[in-house]
Amino acid sequence: MAYLIDTNIIIYSLKNDENVQTRFLEHEKAPKYISIITYGELLYGAKKSKQIEKNCAKIYRIKNLFPIIPIDLPIIEIFSDLKSKYRKTGTVIADFDLLIASTALTYNQILVTNNIKHFEKIEEIKMEDWKNRGPVQTP
């Protein structure tokens, strides 16, 4: 199974979080990707930091470690399906989170995130929290 790594897990990894580092080692042979949204969030964080050059260099290296999945037509199709489905029920999910989830669903990947609350209402998604728990069951 392939994994889509969310922004917060990359940040924990950059901070050498023991749980996250262990999980990366446990899954070292599994394909791992990041969304272009995650890359943008990481780059934004680096550019607003006090050590812009140093932090941007770290983020630029991430391009060599993880293939970046761009937003394409199949992702937008799933995004629009999910957004309309959840809006009809009164459930609001942030667009960036919905795009990341749509990427994982489009490419049949497990989303690795510590922000379970951001994604738990998306019934279709498979998640793991490498910071705390491992596999996560959605309602």
Q: Report the SS3 class of residue 68.
A: strand
30, amino acid identity = A
- In a domain, residue 134? The reply is no
- In a domain, residue 138? The reply is no
- CA 134/CA 115 separation, integer angstroms: 13
Q: Hey, what are 127's tokens?
A: 């998640």
Binned at pLDDT 50, 70 and 90, residue 139 comes out as very low
The domain of 32 spans: 3-129
- In a domain, residue 78? The reply is yes
- In a domain, residue 135? The reply is no
- In a domain, residue 136? The reply is no
Task: Give how many domains the chain has, as a whole number.
Answer: 1
* CATH assignment at residue 117: 3.40.50.1010
Please state the φ and ψ torsions of residue 111, each to the nearest 5 degrees.
Answer: -80, 125
**pLDDT 10s digits, 39-93:** 999 999 999 999 999 999 999 999 899 999 999 999 999 999 999 999 999 988 9
- In a domain, residue 37? The reply is yes
pLDDT greater than 70 at residue 122 = yes
